[in-house]
Amino acid sequence: MPDLSFAEVEELLRLVQRIEGCDVTLTWGDLSVHVHRGGAAATPATAARTSTDVPAQPVVEPAPRGQSAPTTNPFADVPEHWVSIEAPMVGTFYRTSAPEEPPFVEVGDDVEPGATVGLVEVMKLFTELTCDVAGKVARIDVDNGAFVEYGQPLLWIEPA
């Protein structure tokens, strides 16, 4: 398998998101990534050549002419002074270091700068998420084991 940096994995995932086809296979050396958009399952032939299936982003269609697009903001109820801790890359978010371990933080916990608040895993490589400010964990927006996107707010800190 080729050695890919996080930046290269992120760029591959961005490229896949931009492709408008319903069935895409990217091959890099002996790594093959197959993305299928839609409800039909992969055929056995497709599954046999797939090393990694990457969830594709839903396509957002513009509003018809004369109509405005919906303006829902999931962060409208977040006070301006709260600080978000965002996903540094596309991957899987974990609140614990192992399944039997307690979460790094819970809502209401006090945190100091440098405190580990979670992990993001990409291709078996784990990146620690740390807090940059002292404060209290105000809200956690992502479940343990959830797929996250680059820049997605994962939890919020109310600075002290």
Query: Which residues, at least 6 apart from 87, have a Cβ–Cβ distance to it below 8 Å?
Result: 93, 120, 129, 148, 149, 150, 151, 152, 154
Query: Which residues, at least 6 apart from 22, have a Cβ–Cβ distance to it below 8 Å?
Result: 36, 37, 38
Tokens of 94: 């974990």
Does the pLDDT of residue 1 top 70, yes or no?
A: no
Q: In the chain, which residue ranges form alpha helices assigned H by DSSP? A: 6-18, 44-49
Q: pLDDT tens digit string along 76-85?
A: 678 888 999 9
The SS3 call for residue 26 is: strand
pLDDT of 75: 60
pLDDT of 66: 52
Q: pLDDT tens digit string along 100-156?
A: 999 999 999 999 999 999 999 998 899 999 999 999 999 999 999 999 999 999 999
Bridge partners, residue 159, by sequence = 135
pLDDT class of 43 with cuts at 50, 70, 90: very low
pLDDT of 121: 94
- Do the beta carbons of residue 135 and residue 110 sit within 8 Å? yes
Domains of the chain: residue spans and CATH: 6-53 (no CATH), 83-159 (2.40.50.100)
Tokens of 137: 């964990």
pLDDT class of 64 with cuts at 50, 70, 90: low
Does the pLDDT of residue 96 top 50, yes or no?
A: yes
User: Average model confidence (pLDDT) for the chain?
Assistant: 75
What pTM does this model have?
0.55
Report CA dihedral (110, 112, 113, 115) to the nearest 10 degrees.
-80
